[in-house]
Amino acid sequence: VNAPAASFGAAGFRRCLGQFPTGVCIVTAPGGGASAEGAPVGMTMNSFNSLSLDPPLILFSVDRRARSLSAWEAAPAYAVHVLSQEQRELSQRFARPATNKWEGLAFRPGLAGAPILSGVAAVLECTPHARHDGGDHILFLARVERFRCDPDRKPLVFAAGRYCELGSAHEEAELWPLAIHY
């Protein structure tokens, strides 16, 4: 946090990093502990990535300034939802530092009570594995305990600071099983 300022501007650095397209996730965790009135926590994240097949690990990072940081640190489980391209509004709802992110939203309790949202391209239910310093973020590694995938839903994409949709490349996804032995 007290590292000397980088020799380049933050805006240009963000723009450069934004050239790398990602999916968009909403990660949720059960309420309790420090979260307001025990409400569950949920945050739009594109720092999600796959990490390890054996053991099955994924990662995401949370800004140290997030209001929900202590709830993430105390959470016994997380549900990582890979959003479908119909879920831009849901992404925006969970990208704001609001206390009422859950208002009027249906969800069911998953592993250890972590909320499960519907209409997503995939959901991975995880338990905490490790946390590491990540500069102004904290890096969370999590173990996948179970997952569900809906191949009929196209994933939402985020690139160059904007939401996008996959083009025809998605229809060629049948190629993926051939590439899995890389």
Ligand X SMILES: Cc1cc2nc3c(=O)[nH]c(=O)nc-3n(C[C@H](O)[C@H](O)[C@H](O)COP(=O)(O)O)c2cc1C
List interacting residues with ligand X (CB under 6 A): 24, 43-47, 60-63, 66-68, 94-97, 158
Helix/strand number for the chain, H first, E second: 4, 12
Least distance to ligand X, CB of residue 2, Å: 20
Least distance to ligand X, CB of residue 59, Å: 10
Contact residues for 116 (Cβ-Cβ < 8 A; gap 6+): 28, 79, 81, 107, 108, 109, 110, 123, 125
User: What phi and psi values does residue 108 have, to the nearest 5 degrees?
Assistant: -120, 155
Least distance to ligand X, CB of residue 70, Å: 10
Question: 39 vs 171, which CB is nearer to ligand X?
Answer: 39
**Three-state secondary-structure class, residue 179:** helix
Least distance to ligand X, CB of residue 181, Å: 30
Half-sphere exposure in the Cβ direction for 162 (13 Å, CA): 4
Q: Which among 40, 47, 43 is positioned nearest to 27, based on CA atoms?
A: 43
Two structure tokens written together for 8: 């380049």
Question: 24 vs 114, which CB is nearer to ligand X?
Answer: 24
Question: 23 vs 110, which CB is nearer to ligand X?
Answer: 23
Question: 80 vs 144, which CB is nearer to ligand X?
Answer: 80
Least distance to ligand X, CB of residue 160, Å: 11
Question: 74 vs 176, which CB is nearer to ligand X?
Answer: 74
